[in-house]
Structure formats: structure tokens, C-alpha cells
Amino acid sequence: MTDAEIRYIDVFNGDADGICALVQLRRSFPKKSLLVTDVKRNINLLKQVEASENTHIMVLDLSLKKNINDVERLLEQGALITYVDHHQTGDIPKHQGLHTDIDLSADICTSLIVDKQMQGQYRAWALTAAFGDNLSDKAMQIGVESGFSIEQLGQLKELGTYINYNSYGTSIDELLFHPAVLYKKMVNFDCPFEFMKHDDDIFNTLSAAYQQDMKKAESCQPIHETDYTAVIQLPNEQWSNRVSGVYSNDLANRYPNRAHAIIKEQGTDCFLVSVRAPLNNKQGADVLVSQFPTGGGRKAAAGINALPKDLLNAFISAFDKQYV
């Protein structure tokens, strides 16, 4: 089968990590592909995919555990699947059509896994993603070792934060830019500095909105606070959907010994929850949220898409117990 006969599908998380991972891969291996992505919290993207024997599916930054039923379905349909990720896996199927590169370490993200595959060819994109995933210490370490200046790393941190900020929302309509649009813009450049120079309207738009939303978030006081945990409720408005994840990261950086949970009303009967483990103890967030319906994520950062309101007190109790 020739390359022209193969149908390529790229399925990726709409945050900085998912987008930058795909940018690295498609800079190295350009393919005409169908793009499947969405807001950050929609991780069941393989439900949207149908395959046949001539289909090659690249999956980036999406929990295998949350997509296992569709992975098995697509393998049965004859697809070849390459799966690169750093989230919970569950039992990984043994199948000749499935190739995985998964690392569950707390200081890793999908783009850093791809960076290793690419031998650092597009490292600035990987660092952008790592900053976006709040792996700032790791990104700074790798960046300095790779010869980037502190000023350059500051720029990559801003971009990664803004791209991640853009990915939060309950629907695509709430985002400033569709993740696929950002990818199509970014993939044209070998490095983020060229992207920021040539598409400064995107950078400036994201920056201005981010600064405005963060000011609103900082005015919200905790509804529960101990020496080790804090729960902050944001109002039920569009700006709070966008800022919930990046505000969690900001709090984690400011209070590295404390775990944080950002909650927001989701409809009339549930909360959207974003959890960050303490920076000095990057574990347990995935274990915590897995105790509740629709919870998922990784050790350092996780979330619950729809926490029933009558389980809020149970969540806070479990949250305190996890990080006492």
C-alpha cells in the first residue's frame, strides 16, 4: 500500500501539549490528515472516528483508559493506531496494530515524549507545551541545557500558558480560537518564535484576554481552606470556563505546598472541577478524581467534568484526606 492510499487521522487534545506534540510530528513527517480535536476536557475523541484497513490514526495527549473501548473498536476495523500520552492507561491491549509510547511520570508531558522521539529537532515547541502543562521547572532545566536564554524561555512560557488557557471551555464556541485553527497556524513554523512574530495577532489576542480573566479570578475567595488545601469557586460565566485550568496552575506556583481545586457550576446540578496537586508533592490528583464520576487526569493535574452537587462535601473531604 502506498502512502497516498493511506488515510491519516490525527486525534489530539486541544491544549498546548496536544497541539505542540502534533506540530513536532508533522514538521518531521508531513501528512495530509483529518484533524480531530476539541476543548481540553473532551478526551473521548476517538468516538468520532471510523476506520478501515487503510487508516493510520495518531492519538496524542488523550487517556488510553478513557478511550479504550474505541481503541479496541478501531483495531477491529483494521486501523493502525499510534498512541502517545502521559495519562492513565488501564490495561494496554496487546495488538499488532497498536503502537504505544506512554510515560506516566509526574514531570513528563506528551510533547516531551515526542521531543525524545524527534531527538530534540523541534525542542522549542516541546518546551512551549511543557510550560503550558505547568512543568515549568522541567522546561526551564531542559531549556537552559539546550542553550535557550532566560528571555526566550519566558516567551515560550507565555505562549504555552496562553495556548493552554485557550483550550478550556465547555464548548468550542467559548474558545477564542479553535484548537485545529491554532495547529494549522503553528505547524507552518519550525519554532514558536517565528510563529509569534508572524502571527502576533493570535498571541496578542490571547494575552489580553488571559490578563483580563485572571484579574477576575483573583477576586474570588476560597470556600474551603486549610494549610494543605484550598477550594475556590468561580462564578458561572464564560470567562471562568476559560481561566479555570490556568488559574489552578498559577495558584500551584504561588503556593507550592498546597493542593488546589477550582470549582464552577455546570448547569443546575453539578460542578466542573480542576485539581492541582502541590508542586512539591506531584501525586494523587488522578487517584482523587477517579473516586468520582467523570473524573480523570494525571498525577499532578486532573479534573472532574460533572461532579454532582450533592457530592461536593464528599469531594472536599476526600481532597483534604488526599493531601493532609
What is the CATH code for 3-206? 3.90.1640
Mean pLDDT computed over 50-71: 95
pTM of the model: 0.86
- Dihedral sign (CA 139, 21, 154, 253): negative
Model confidence at 2, in pLDDT bands (50, 70, 90)?
Answer: low
Q: Which residues contact 26 (CB under 8 A, 6 or more apart)?
A: 10, 33, 187
What CA–CA distances, in Å, run from 316 to 79, 246, 267, 295, 321? 42, 21, 20, 14, 8
Q: Residues 265-300: pLDDT tens digits?
A: 888 899 989 999 999 999 999 999 999 989 988 888
Q: Report pLDDT for 1.
A: 53
Q: Report pLDDT for 241.
A: 83
Mean pLDDT computed over 296-321: 93
Distance CA(243)–CA(55), nearest Å, equals: 37
Model confidence at 249, in pLDDT bands (50, 70, 90)?
Answer: confident
User: Domain residue spans in the chain?
Assistant: 3-206, 221-322
Lowest mean pLDDT among 26-30, 74-78, 279-283: 279-283
What is the three-class DSSP state of 246? helix
Mean pLDDT computed over 103-118: 95
Phi, psi of 40 (to 5 degrees): -55, -40
Distance CA(265)–CA(42), nearest Å, equals: 17
Mean pLDDT computed over 4-30: 96
Considering the segment(s) 221-322 as one domain, its CATH architecture is Roll (3.10)
Mean pLDDT computed over 216-226: 95
